[in-house]
Amino acid sequence: MTRRTDWPGSEHDSSSAAGDAENRSGRKGRENGGGPSSSRAETGPPRTPEEQARAICLRLLTGSPRTRKQLGDALRERGIPEEAAEEVLSRFEDVGLINDAAFADAWVESRHHGRGLARRALARELRTKGVDSTLIEEAVSRLDSEQEESTARELVDRKLRTTRGLDREKRLRRLAGMLARKGYPEGLALRVVRQALEEEGEDPELLERHLPDT
């Protein structure tokens, strides 16, 4: 819809109206003490460290879940006093906005199925995010050895195709190295790689020279 001020001949009227509004606003401001309008104060930055901390935490949590340590580090980097930060972080924990146990469970679920990471790599990542060791142990324990081995085999099967044409030793090293980088124990990695290559037709005796049992 076309605004009235866009019609020809209304420019003078709108300018006059704007001037009148400005004069009224100025008089109102002077009547209230001569300071700026209250709307500017309302949209300004939070006035206390606690308000600043809450605003920072809510903004970060809107993007993705965070651990208490991650939020605490962010508050420290922004100069929030420790006492105010601890008060806000504890309050966020009380109402469930911070939940390191749930964060660890979700992280393990997502990173194992999405990236194929093993328990050792998952635990290492959670430690860097400041999750308590007890919570880490509980989260990664939900992945049993059978699930880890199954995922390792899926990873190797997907990688086998890209290693065809390489010599035997290089294939073994590349496949086992891929699993090691994802946190799989050496014994499990070697066993899964050997089994996959044997099923593909490799001579078990030749494999044994490069890939002994551990």
pLDDT, tens only, 107-136: 999 999 999 999 999 999 999 999 999 999
Burial status of residue 38 (CB atoms within 10 A of its CB: 0-12, 13-18, 19 or more):
exposed
pTM above 0.75, yes or no: no
Is a pLDDT exceeding 90 seen at residue 89? yes
pLDDT, tens only, 143-198: 998 999 999 999 999 988 888 877 778 888 889 999 999 999 998 998 898 888 88
The more confidently predicted of residues 172 and 42 is 172
Closest CA to 71 of 130, 128, 134: 130
Cβ atoms of 54 and 22 within 8 Å: the answer is no
- Amino acid 202: pLDDT: 61
- Amino acid 14: pLDDT: 40
User: If you average pLDDT over residues 54-69, what whole number do you get?
Assistant: 95
For the chain, the three-class secondary structure string (H helix, E strand, C coil) is: CCCHHHCCCCHHHHHHHHHHHHHHHHHHHHHCCCCCCHHHHHCCCCCCHHHHHHHHHHHHHHHCCCCHHHHHHHHHHCCCCHHHHHHHHHHHHHCCCCCHHHHHHHHHHHHHHHHCCCHHHHHHHHHHCCCCHHHHHHHHCCCCHHHHHHHHHHHHHHHHHHHCCCCHHHHHHHHHHHHHHCCCCHHHHHHHHHHHHHHHCCCHHHHHHHCCCC
